[in-house]
């Protein structure tokens, strides 16, 4: 009897240990595939499940969004420039059955597919496109990877290029090119400003031609601005300017003599401290 009781206790302990070892807890972001004697029998959702040891096997797959970095080094672009690109891909498992049964190692496979797609896009694009239109390159890489990964149960959300490296000698060339483009734009803007100024001068000339009084007032204003300086200013007034000052002297219609003109300018100038 004691031997029988001991045997039953051992059997009960083994059964309890087997029972507890067969418990599997599937987390909220996971799904579990169950295989019985090597044959797929179903998918288990989050919760507590039984997977009988030695008879069944379980594979748990994370369905959360995963980031993968991949790069291509020294790949020649379409214009024969060696380019090194570093990109990040955001993806997740959308079909755990396909990811487990159709691909031996879906993580390694998606990584290799991303690298090959990146090399393919770089070889088809020239350097200027890679530098100026990275959003378009991102979309093309993501689309190419998505075409390959859909059949594996992988959902590729987007791809972003993080870094682009080119030879240092070519960087100097591109820097000088950018400076030349900036100078070209500045000269164009300066030329457009000159055109606008010339057009305004033409309009002002037409106004002054139709209104001699306005022209004379403008001349007096220029003279006033010239003598406002605190420095000693020496002004040379041409005959045309003295003619312009006609009708502003003490006697209407008479040209101001040089002494009167000097007096008028002296009155207008600010006092010296």
- Report strand pairing: 56-62 vs 66-76: unpaired
Do residue 146 and residue 73 come from a single domain? yes
**What secondary structure does DSSP assign to 104-145, as a single string?**
S-HHHHHHHHHHHHHHHHHHHS-HHHHHH-HHHHHHHHHHHH
Give the range of the structural domain holding residue 57, as residue numbers without chain letter: 15-62
Question: Is the same domain home to 241 and 221?
Answer: yes
For residues 126 and 135, what is the distance between their CA atoms, to the nearest angstrom? 15
pLDDT at 113: 87
> Does 136 map to a domain?
yes
* 181, part of any domain: no
How many Å is the maximal CA-CA distance in the chain? Answer: 150
Burial 39-68 (b: 16+ CB within 10 A, else e): eeeeebeeeebebeeeebeeeebebeeeeb
Asked if residue 195 belongs to a domain, the reply is no
pTM > 0.85: yes or no: no
| Residue 239 burial class via C-beta count within 10 angstroms: exposed 0-12, middle 13-18, buried 19 and up | exposed
pLDDT of residue 218: 72
Q: What is the CATH number of the domain that holds 106?
A: 3.30.479.30
User: Residue 121, class by beta-carbon neighbours within 10 Å (0-12 exposed, 13-18 middle, 19+ buried)?
Assistant: buried
Q: What is the pLDDT of residue 246?
A: 56
- Give, as one character, the DSSP assignment of residue 46: S
Residue 170's closest CA among 85, 83, 86? 83
Whether 57 and 76 share a structural domain: no
Side-chain-side CA neighbours of residue 20 (13 Å) = 5
Residues 79 and 146 grouped into a single domain: yes
What is the tally of structural domains in the chain? Answer: 3
Tell whether 70 and 161 lie within a shared domain.
Answer: yes
214-235: b or e for each residue (b if 16 or more CB lie within 10 Å)? eebeebeeebeeeeeeeeeeee
Whether residues 150 and 240 fall in one domain = no
Does 152 share its domain with 101? yes
- Could you tell me if 128 and 55 lie in one domain? no
Phi then psi dihedrals of residue 130, to 5 deg: -65, -35
Spell out the per-residue pLDDT of the chain, length 273, in tens. 566 677 777 878 877 887 888 888 888 889 898 998 888 888 889 888 888 888 888 888 988 998 888 888 777 878 777 888 888 999 999 888 888 888 888 888 888 888 888 888 888 888 777 777 788 888 888 888 888 888 888 898 888 888 887 777 665 666 666 667 777 777 888 888 888 888 887 887 777 777 777 767 776 676 666 666 555 656 555 555 566 555 444 444 444 444 444 444 444 444 544
Domain membership flag for residue 220: yes
Q: How many whole angstroms separate alpha carbon 8 and alpha carbon 1?
A: 10
Residues 38 and 115 grouped into a single domain: no
Structural domain contains residue 154: yes
Long-range contacts of 127-130 (CB under 8 A, 24+ apart): 127/77, 127/79, 127/81, 127/83, 127/166, 127/170, 130/77, 130/83, 130/85, 130/164
Distance, CA of 115 to CA of 155 (rounded, Å): 17
- Asked if 44 and 80 sit in the same domain, the reply is no
Q: Tell me if 188 is assigned to some domain.
A: no
Please, which residues have CB within 8 angstroms of residue 159's CB and are 6 or more apart in sequence? 87, 88, 89, 90, 114, 138, 141, 142, 145
Question: Distance between CA atoms of 257 and 76, rounded to whole angstroms?
Answer: 82
């Amino acid at each position: 009897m004691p031997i029988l009781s001991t045997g039953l206790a051992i059997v009960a302990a083994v059964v309890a240990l087997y029972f507890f070892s067969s418990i599997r807890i599937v987390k909220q972001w996971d799904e579990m595939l169950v295989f019985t004697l090597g044959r797929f029998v179903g998918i288990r959702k989050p919760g507590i499940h039984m997977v009988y040891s030695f008879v069944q096997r379980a594979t748990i797959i994370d369905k959360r969004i995963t980031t993968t970095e991949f790069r291509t080094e020294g790949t020649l672009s379409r214009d024969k420039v060696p380019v090194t690109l570093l990109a990040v891909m955001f993806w997740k498992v959308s079909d755990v059955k396909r990811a487990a049964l159709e691909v031996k190692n879906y993580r390694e496979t998606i990584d290799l597919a991303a690298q090959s797609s990146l090399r393919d896009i770089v070889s088809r694009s020239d350097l200027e496109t890679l530098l100026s239109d990275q959003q378009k390159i991102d979309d093309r890489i993501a689309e190419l990877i998505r075409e390959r990964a859909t059949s594996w149960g992988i959902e590729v959300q987007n791809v972003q290029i993080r870094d682009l490296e080119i030879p240092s000698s070519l960087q100097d060339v591109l820097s000088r090119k950018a400076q030349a483009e900036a100078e070209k734009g500045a000269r164009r803007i300066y030329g457009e400003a000159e055109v606008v100024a010339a057009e305004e001068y033409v309009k002002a000339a037409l106004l002054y031609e139709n209104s001699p009084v306005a022209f004379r007032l403008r001349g007096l204003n220029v003279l006033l601005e010239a003598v406002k300086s605190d420095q000693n200013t020496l002004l040379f007034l041409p005959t045309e300017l003295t003619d312009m000052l006609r009708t502003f002297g003490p006697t209407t219609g008479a040209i101001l003599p040089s002494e009167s003109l000097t007096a008028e300018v002296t009155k207008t100038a600010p006092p010296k401290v």
